[in-house]
Amino acid sequence: MNLRCLIIDDEQAALNVLTNYIAKTPFLELTGAYLDPIQALEIIYTQPVDLIFLDIHMPELSGLEFIKLLRGRAKVILTTAYSQYALEGYELDVVDYLLKPVPFDRFLRAVQKAKDALTTKEETSVLPVTVATVPTVTASDYVFIKVDSKIMKVRFDDILYIEGLGNYVSIYTKTGRLVTLSTMKEVEEYLSESYFTRIHRSYIIALNQVEYVEGNQIFLNKNTAVPLGETYREKFFKLLEENMMNKK
């Protein structure tokens, strides 16, 4: 299998070295090299990437912070001139840790480890799944989203509803509206069905924010109503019945 690779480093010389190494390796395919980690994050959210070569020391967003925002979307090989972050990197489940300047033979060993790990994951993914677990959401759960040039922390219990806008979503919270580059499908992956549900092709709501339902409108407060799509109607009312006192 070929691995789609992306390089993130705030030094052009480091990008050049790794670009050259990738070109020499038959099973690697370079999809992009970025000096700006935030720009790279936008790309990762919109197209598939298997392996990321990631510098640790970057001005806007450190490599370790970047890994937390990835949420397992790709395997990571850290590249840095500092050895003291190796332990923390492995705690974040990175494939390998390369010290600059990176020798080509050491680079090859690291990418082979990544290929082996991804091959094993691919083989495991075709096995039948017998038990599925749903992540629980607590008041301390949150997600980081990019809004303009900022990366913002949004707590799940602050979210009222989410509206899809093509390749963007609007997240309406108790304090305002945030727009970020994402799709409704991607957003659903982060949210527990116990707390959030899709009620329209363009809307996801927080169940605990529902005040009342009238016709095909769901009211989240006195001034906010969102449409209930016909496709999602049956599932939504089943969720309501679970907490309905007079079910007759």
Please write the tens of the pLDDT for every residue from 128-140: 443 333 334 343 4
* Cα(146)–Cα(231) distance, integer angstroms: 31
Q: Which CATH number fits domain 3-125: 1.10.10.10, 3.50.50.60, 3.30.43.10, 3.40.50.2300?
A: 3.40.50.2300
Long-range contacts of 142-149 (CB under 8 A, 24+ apart): 143/190, 144/68, 144/69, 145/171, 145/178, 145/180, 145/182, 146/38, 146/41, 146/42, 146/180, 146/181, 147/178, 147/179, 147/180, 149/38
The three-state secondary structure class of 78 is: strand
Once rounded to an integer, what is the mean pLDDT over residues 105-118? 91
φ, ψ dihedrals at 246, nearest 5°: -105, 90
- Alpha-carbon dihedral angle through residues 116, 119, 121, 122, given to the nearest 10 degrees: 180
Whole-angstrom distance, CA of residue 94 vs CA of residue 69? 14
pLDDT (mean) for 94-115 = 90
Burial class (CB in 10 A: 0-12, 13-18, 19+), 88: middle
pLDDT at 132: 35
Give the pLDDT band (50/70/90) at residue 122.
low
Which of 20-29, 43-52, 183-192 is predicted with the least confidence, judged by mean pLDDT? 183-192
The whole-number pLDDT of residue 85 equals: 52
Q: Where are the chain's structural domains? A: 3-125, 142-241
Exposed / middle / buried, residue 92 (Cβ in 10 Å: 0-12, 13-18, 19+)? middle
Instruction: Give the torsion through C-alpha atoms of 196, 197, 199, 205, to 10 deg.
Output: 0
pLDDT-derived band at 92, boundaries 50, 70, 90: low
Amino acid 186: pLDDT = 81
Span 142-241 CATH architecture = Beta Barrel (2.40)
At 198 the pLDDT is: 92
Terminal alpha carbon distance of the chain: 57
Instruction: Dump pLDDT digits (tens) for 138-159.
Output: 434 777 788 877 888 888 888 9
Mean pLDDT of 237-243: 80
pLDDT at site 183: 83
The string over 69-85, giving b where at least 16 C-beta atoms fall within 10 Å of a residue's C-beta and e elsewhere, is: bbeeebbbbbbbeeeeb
Whether 82 shows a pLDDT value over 80: the answer reads no
Ranges 82-86, 92-96, 181-185, most confident: 181-185
Averaged pLDDT for residues 117-137: 49
**pTM of the predicted model, to two decimals?**
0.52
